[in-house]
Amino acid sequence: MKRFLILFAMLAFACNVEKKADNTYQVQTPDPQKTKENAKQLGQEVKQEAKDIGTTVKDGAQQVGESDAAQRIRAGAVEAGRGIKQGAGEAAEAAGKKLQEAGKDAQADVKKTPPATATH
């Protein structure tokens, strides 16, 4: 970005403006081929800088991912997942016991009451 601004300033100041004796101005523009080459070179520099920034960000993110804090967070998340799974298993087991008891109670209740007789 910094180089782009520098090149832009150079291109802006590349035009040479001269005041003549008769109070007219003469503007001399730079060679179009040279301007094109400068723009191409600037494009390559900007591309390289963007690539360097991307690499720096990627390396930084990788270092953060490999840090002690990230390792502790990852281990904590795994442990939390195991705890949730164990809790869900215990809840299912308890629910199964309650369902089993309810089923036995329902069967016992049916056995206690005599069958209904039909009246016509």
Identify any residues that bridge with 45 across adjacent strands, giving them in sequence order: none
Lowest mean pLDDT among 10-14, 46-50, 112-116: 10-14
Q: Residue 38 class from Cβ within 10 Å (0-12 exposed, 13-18 middle, 19+ buried)?
A: middle
Q: What is the pLDDT of residues 53-97, one digit of tens each?
A: 888 888 888 888 788 888 888 888 889 988 888 888 888 888 888
Provide the whole-model pTM.
Answer: 0.37
Q: pLDDT averaged over the chain?
A: 80
Neighbours of 7 (CB within 10 A): 17
Assigned token pair, 64:
């953060």
Please tell me the predicted confidence (pLDDT) of residue 17. Answer: 67
Instruction: Choose between 19 and 99: higher pLDDT.
Output: 99
Give me the phi and psi of 113, to 5 degrees please.
-90, 135
